[in-house]
Structure 1
């Protein structure tokens, strides 16, 4: 089934994978490696580029002319979707949750630069806004294709199932864990499926940046179980996942002091720029687990950098 899926070229793969030697020494913990999916190459990169290679291939197969997607005003997914649509010559309409910013900055600035039409709405009005756009596009004779927030589809998960195989091909060493931020849960879902397809002792660890444990389990299972059904695999259960929800703070997109400290730490130790919404919180979680002795000093741990750099300019 996977070999038959269409995929278009949008990013530069494989992305680099290298050791964070200074950080590992500083923490006196395991050897920490980083997978640089912030360097996927499309409009400042990020993990959504992998997903869009599969999702937009499906959109083109369905003769789509307008891409509609949803996200927060600060959404990395929205920015990467706008960029991909521009490359493919498609219209892009972004339904963004939250008030329209008084100042254009970060991803919201880039959305406009990339030519997307942006509609800032309240969370409860998202479905109505999407339906209205689909109807307006239909009246213009345009075919719409709707991508859920974060590319939260089986195709999005399959992209990171394939990314896990890329990691295995790049890495002669075994990893005790692969650590990623959990937003919609699609990237985590794909890594879980990848580990299931390449069974070893690696644990896929997710650091939630917004959702509670029940929400994370539910959203991850939505896409994981659908892919498993297509592959005729045994269905995963919530107890198969390793999700930590201790590092959310006051909520999604809300930055707290420890996130800012860790962003500075990575910048000054490794020259790596994390973002305040996803990778900053995920690295807070990883460092806390290391200091608590969750990993042995002789182990290797891989951190997935999912991108998000533009939001640093909104701090």
Structure 2
């Protein structure tokens, strides 16, 4: 055990994800790009309906909710939030009521993650994007108060479960990655991941240091800019350190963010991203989504083509799931 690893004492965790997930080599894509060998950490396989990175964080978040005696889970996100879908399904699995506060105005017929939220029986409140952005904290607290008034005990989970508790999800995943690297006898130079609420990147950044992975974590921004995510990741890590009394010097952590591939905005992608998703599906049978992983992988491919990884032998891409986000944007595929 390393000195850094000895600093880790995990809090209570529920076993909800199907882990460990495999590390898959993309042989044909690697050959086509003539760059470093690309490996994919298949966290889209953490479950069938629960697929993706959110369930890793929720294992710790929901353990805390249970410890506090909560019987209602309240969380938030976009209409097609992977996190909200995972929370709705896990709430049903654990016998907890779930209330989702969502950004956006739904179509007359639900699709993708929103359909699954409804099937899971979640209570859903939707708000116009501008109103949601300006009043989110108030909306969450008002919703919580409504349940307290009924004698229930709500537990509020922030966007993406990205906070001081959720950090543990991907600190723990780094223990898996260390075993993956040993199994395949590789020493990747970079771990690349889509970053949208910052929590996965925070956990990977801390975990890579604590488990001495020797790889730089690069967050591919899908919405906000580099400064925002560097601030958000450090905020989550500072809260994590304080809450759990951890003896870790956060100043030594390198928070790398690439904000060159955000495109038109959150949940919006240009044709090049959709083409990249199609290409990967045809070459490797691997499906990404246009909100998170598609943008991030397109960014990685573009940077490889630009020669930014010429000095690297192996790079790991973390597939954070999101397949249900493909369906609401089906009309964007196969366009001329």
Any unmatched runs of 5+ in structure 1?
none
Q: TM-score, normalised by structure 1?
A: 0.96
Q: 1:69 aligns with which of 64, 70, 75?
A: 75
Secondary structure of the structure 2 residue equivalent to 1:252: coil
Between stretches 296-305 and 43-52, larger displacement belongs to 296-305
Give the C-alpha shift of residue 139 in structure 1: 1.7
Secondary structure of the structure 2 residue equivalent to 1:153: coil
Give the C-alpha shift of residue 200 in structure 1: 4.7
Give the C-alpha shift of residue 309 in structure 1: 0.3
Secondary structure of the structure 2 residue equivalent to 1:118: strand
Q: Please state if 1:48 is matched with 2:48.
A: no
Q: 1:198 aligns with which of 193, 211, 236?
A: 211
Q: Please state if 1:174 is matched with 2:187.
A: yes
Secondary structure of the structure 2 residue equivalent to 1:3: coil
C-alpha root-mean-square deviation of aligned residues, in Å? 1.5
Q: Any idea what the Cα deviations from partners look like across 1:146-201, whole Å, max 9, x if unmatched?
A: 00000011221111011011111122211111000010111001110011102353
Give the C-alpha shift of residue 101 in structure 1: 2.6
Secondary structure of the structure 2 residue equivalent to 1:12: coil
Paired residues of 1:38 and 1:306 also in contact (CA < 8 A): yes
Secondary structure of the structure 1 residue equivalent to 2:165: helix
Q: 2:161 aligns with which of 144, 147, 151?
A: 151
Q: Which runs of 4+ in 1 moved over 3 A?
A: 1-4
In structure 2, how many angstroms separate the alpha carbons of the residues matched to 1:33 and 1:201? 16
Q: Any idea what the Cα deviations from partners look like across 1:208-230, whole Å, max 9, x if unmatched?
A: 00011111111111111233443
Secondary structure of the structure 1 residue equivalent to 2:70: coil
* Distance 1:40-1:134 versus aligned 2 partners, 3 A rule: same
* Distance 1:4-1:29 versus aligned 2 partners, 3 A rule: closer
Question: Which structure 2 residues correspond to residues 208-247 of structure 1 after superposition, within 5 A?
Answer: 208-229=221-242, 230-236=245-251, 240-247=254-261
Give the C-alpha shift of residue 232 in structure 1: 1.7
Paired residues of 1:225 and 1:236 also in contact (CA < 8 A): no
Between stretches 1-10 and 287-296, larger displacement belongs to 1-10
In structure 1, how many angstroms separate the alpha carbons of the residues matched to 2:312 and 2:53? 29
Q: Please state if 1:120 is matched with 2:123.
A: no
Corresponding residue of 2:273: 259
Q: Any idea what the Cα deviations from partners look like across 1:35-64, whole Å, max 9, x if unmatched?
A: 011111151411000000000000000000
Give the C-alpha shift of residue 83 in structure 1: 0.8
Q: 1:88 aligns with which of 94, 106, 119?
A: 94
Between stretches 150-159 and 66-75, larger displacement belongs to 150-159
Q: Please state if 1:163 is matched with 2:173.
A: yes
Give the C-alpha shift of residue 277 in structure 1: 0.2
Q: Any idea what the Cα deviations from partners look like across 1:249-274, whole Å, max 9, x if unmatched?
A: 11111121111011001100000000
